Amino acid sequence: MISRRKFFSNAAVAAGAAALGAATRSVKGGERVGQSPENPEKINDHAQSDQQDYPPGEPGKDYTPVITPNGSTLPFKVVGGVKVFHLITEEVDHEFAPGLRAYCWGFNGQVHGPTIEVVEGDRVRIYVTNNLPENTSIHWHGVFVPSGMDGVGGLSQKTIEPGETYKYEFKLRQEGTYMYHSHCDEMTQMALGMMGMFIIHPRNPTGPKADRDFAFMLSEWRIDVGTM
C-alpha cells in the first residue's frame, strides 16, 4: 500500500537529499533513507521524539485534521497527558452503494474502521473491545511499538476473546501514514473489512502546510449476489 503521505515524502526526501547531501534522512516504516555515516547518532529520527516529552498534539494547532471521505476520525479524550481511544470490533451492516449491502466486520459501526489521528511524541492508550463472535487482536502496521503492544495474536499477546477488552499503550516515535488491522484469523477478519488508517502527524513539520488533507484507504471486495 502506498500512501499519499509516503508518496509525497519520498519525493521530498529525494529533493532534500540532492540539496543537502548526507545530512538528509528520513525514517519510514523501518526503512532508513539518506543515512549519515559521519553522524550516526542522528540517523534515527524517532530517537528524539522517544526521549522528549511533548504535550498531546492538538488538532488545528499542531496539525490540520485529516478528512476521511465516507468515514470518520476516531474521537479521543486526554487523561493524564495520554490520548485515550476506544475501538469496538463488531459486525457492521455496510452499504457500499445504494442497494449493495453486506454484513462486514469493522470497528465502531464502520467499515473500514475510523481513522486514528495522532501526533509524533503523543502517548496513546487504545482500548479494544471485542464484540465479534471470535477472538481477535489489533496490529498497528508499521508503527514502532514495544513487542507486547504489537498485536500479533498468538505471538506477542493472547488473543482478545469475545466480550473482552484489551488495552494497548505506546508512545509514537515517528510520523507518517500507517494502518491498523486485525492480526488474528486474518484471512477472514481482514477480508471482512477489519482495517483502518493510523495517521501520525509530524511534531515539527517542514514544508508547506496543507490546506486540506484527505485519507483514502482502498481495498477490494467480492460480494456475490445474495450474500446478505
Site residues, Cu ion (CB under 5 A) = 141
CB of 6 or CB of 141, closer to Cu ion: 141
User: Which residue type sits at 141?
Assistant: H
CB of 83 to Cu ion, least distance (A): 22
Residue 52 region by backbone torsions, left for phi larger than 0, else alpha for psi between -120 and 50, else beta:
beta
CB of 46 or CB of 141, closer to Cu ion: 141
Sign of the torsion angle spanned by Cα atoms 19, 22, 27, 29: positive
CB of 127 to Cu ion, least distance (A): 20
Sign of the torsion angle spanned by Cα atoms 61, 66, 67, 71: negative
CB of 13 or CB of 190, closer to Cu ion: 190
How far apart (Å, rounded) are the C-alpha atoms in residues 204 and 45? 11
Q: Are strands 176-182 and 165-171 parallel, antiparallel or unpaired?
A: unpaired
Q: How many residues does this entry show for the chain?
A: 228
CB of 150 to Cu ion, least distance (A): 10
CB of 23 to Cu ion, least distance (A): 32
CB of 190 to Cu ion, least distance (A): 9
CB of 92 or CB of 179, closer to Cu ion: 179
How far apart (Å, rounded) are the C-alpha atoms in residues 116 and 170? 14
Strands (E), the chain: 26-28, 31-33, 66-67, 77-79, 82-97, 100-107, 116-119, 123-130, 138-141, 165-171, 176-182, 195-201, 213-214
Q: Which residue is nearest to Cu ion (CB)?
A: 141
CB of 119 or CB of 138, closer to Cu ion: 138
